[in-house]
Amino acid sequence: MYTIEIEAVTEFTPEVFELIQTSYSSIPEFEQGYASQEIATRLLAGPALLLIARVEGEIAGFKLGYQTEDQVFYSWLGGVAPDFRGLGLAKSLLEYQERWATEQGYQRIDVKTRNCFPSMLNMLISSQYQITAMISDTQNHSQNKLHLQKQF
């Protein structure tokens, strides 16, 4: 049995941004990801939450989101490093984020994913997220962007 811990961070210092970059770079699906400045701009604009999952003390995954409207939290980026997949970390991070968001008074969580991430889509649907929109990529349907939300 592994020791799994989830750390919540709401104060974004230079050290925390380094932690985000370390976590972000461990997820191969993000190789064409966001620049550090874009991440900082979004997180420093208002309330935000970083969740770091550690397995036996090693960073295994993360979930990052921020407020977009008065009672709306946007679950923006997240993932689990390949060596730690299959342990239920993504689900644990999602559930932690939902609890935190409801404790903060948010009424809804918005999230986007793509067809090429079926595990993420299945997890969201099984967690009562509803598909609210789709942006079609006519050249590559695996890149269709799905918008989902969960009301509290």
What domains lie within the chain, and their CATH numbers?
A: 4-151 (3.40.630.30)
- Tell me the C-alpha distance between 57 and 30, whole Å: 23
Within the chain, which residues score under 50 in pLDDT? none
* DSSP 8-state class, residue 12: -
In this prediction, residue 31 carries a pLDDT of 74
Q: How far, rounded to the nearest angstrom, does the alpha carbon of residue 66 sit from its chain's CA centroid?
A: 10
Instruction: Determine the residue type at 98.
Output: E
Using CA atoms, how far residue 50 sits from 6, 55, 122, 151, in Å, is: 10, 17, 22, 21
The sign of the dihedral angle between the CA atoms of 50, 148, 27, 85 is: positive
**C-beta of residue 40 within 8 angstroms of C-beta of residue 28:** no
In this prediction, residue 30 carries a pLDDT of 85
